[in-house]
């Protein structure tokens, strides 16, 4: 099977390409390299010893995308490509809706034109909004607190409505919680543009000396140590979840959502302590004011994915931090 991976040069996309190649799939990648580097794909091929096909294509470019389908017979699509900074989406909503939603519609139109109607979608726990209480389960009402989150809700709706209109369409909607970690080789990891907006890449850059200290946004939440609790999942476990979703597509399941998380939470300070164990040095931090919109506690119920996909998160927080440190210490400037 030849799998088209949109956004395949990105953090989760590149790890998924690696797992696909190792599992014997052919891989074709389209990525506009706005949030990613082609070097990640070179390393994927180096690690696996297997080739993939790369096209530097933007999903908004219908003609270029169509040419990819003409040149490469595609069996299914894994759709990662999207702008992904929640804060930026608040200041640039039209850019986010146009890129994420319109790009997805163009992708679906081209897929339909070529008779490809099986897709795995990179969704997010942000679709649960602020009011649902953990553990979060797939049949809870959807909401969002920023345009990035709403774009994910809208894209899920697109795939659901496509299946209603044409039952030949199948879409697995994977709602990720907080992906961290890196490939255990130390050759593949998260390489954010500029100053990281996520906790663990920020900690890693403090540990490697690129940033002076970590800012902890509030220590007065109703949690055991006062800091926010999140469900962190190793990116390799997450990547394997996409292979399990591809297998599920063979049963023509329709449009169906699954949480990919561990089902348990770690606080900010617990993550800091785990990273200190991994790197063998203290992580300086300062407590600052809370960020608007941060929930005290968020974690998944992964039982549906456990039951229906036979998928289970295997790697611990110590594994996640050790792999991030191996990546960051060996690649202090990322893929540069």
> Of the candidates 321, 309, 38, 289, which has an alpha carbon nearest to the alpha carbon of residue 178?
321
Is the distance from CB of 146 to CB of 293 less than 8 angstroms?
yes
Given the residues 148, 202, 258, 285, select the one marked as catalytic.
148
- Within 10 Å of residue 205's Cβ, how many Cβ atoms? 19
What is the rounded distance in angstroms from the CA atom of residue 132 to the CA atom of residue 134? 7
HSE-CB at 273 with a 13 A cutoff on CA atoms is 7
Residue positions counted in the chain: 336
What's the distance, CA 264 to chain centroid? 18
Is the distance from CB of 27 to CB of 17 less than 8 angstroms?
yes
Return phi, psi of residue 89, to 5°.
-65, -30
In order, the DSSP letters of 154-222 are HHHHHHHHHHHH-TT-EEEEEEE-EEE---TTSS-----SSS--SHHHHHHHHHTTSSS-EEEE-S-SS
Give the H/E segment covering residue 145: none
Is the distance from CB of 26 to CB of 96 less than 8 angstroms?
no
Is the distance from CB of 40 to CB of 191 less than 8 angstroms?
yes
Is the distance from CB of 211 to CB of 255 less than 8 angstroms?
no
Is the distance from CB of 263 to CB of 299 less than 8 angstroms?
yes
148 is a catalytic site residue: yes
3-class secondary-structure state, position 273? helix
* Residues with active-site annotation: 148
């Amino acid at each position: 099977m030849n799998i088209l991976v949109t956004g395949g040069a990105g953090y989760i996309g590149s790890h998924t390409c690696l797992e696909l190649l190792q599992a014997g799939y052919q891989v074709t990648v389209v990525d506009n390299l706005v949030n990613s580097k082609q070097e990640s794909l070179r390393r994927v091929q180096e690690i696996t010893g297997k080739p993939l096909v790369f096209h530097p294509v933007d999903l908004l470019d219908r003609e270029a995308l169509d040419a990819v389908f003409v040149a490469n017979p595609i069996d299914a699509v894994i759709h990662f490509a999207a702008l992904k900074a929640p804060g930026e989406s608040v200041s640039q909503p039209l850019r986010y809706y146009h890129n994420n939603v319109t790009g997805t519609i163009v992708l679906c139109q081209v897929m339909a034109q070529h008779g490809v109607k099986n897709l795995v979608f990179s969704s997010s726990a942000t679709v649960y909004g602020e009011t649902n209480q953990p553990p979060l389960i797939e049949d809870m009402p959807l909401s969002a607190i920023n345009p990035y989150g709403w774009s994910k809700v809208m894209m899920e709706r697109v795939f659901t409505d496509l299946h209603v209109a044409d039952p030949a369409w199948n879409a697995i909607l994977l709602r990720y919680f907080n992906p961290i970690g890196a490939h255990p080789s130390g050759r593949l990891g998260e390489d954010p543009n500029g100053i990281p907006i996520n906790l663990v890449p920020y900690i890693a850059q403090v540990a490697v000396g690129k940033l002076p200290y970590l800012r902890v946004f509030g220590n007065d939440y109703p949690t055991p140590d006062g800091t926010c609790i999140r469900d962190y999942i190793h990116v390799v476990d997450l990547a394997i979840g996409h292979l399990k979703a591809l297998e599920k597509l063979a049963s023509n399941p329709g449009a169906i959502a699954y949480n990919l998380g561990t089902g348990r939470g770690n606080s900010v300070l617990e993550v800091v302590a785990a990273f200190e164990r991994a790197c063998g040095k203290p992580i300086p931090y300062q407590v600052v004011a809370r960020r608007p919109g941060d929930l005290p506690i968020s974690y998944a119920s992964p039982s549906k994915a456990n039951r229906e996909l036979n998928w289970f998160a295997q790697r611990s927080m110590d594994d996640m931090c050790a792999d991030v440190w191996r990546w960051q210490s060996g690649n202090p400037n990322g893929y540069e």
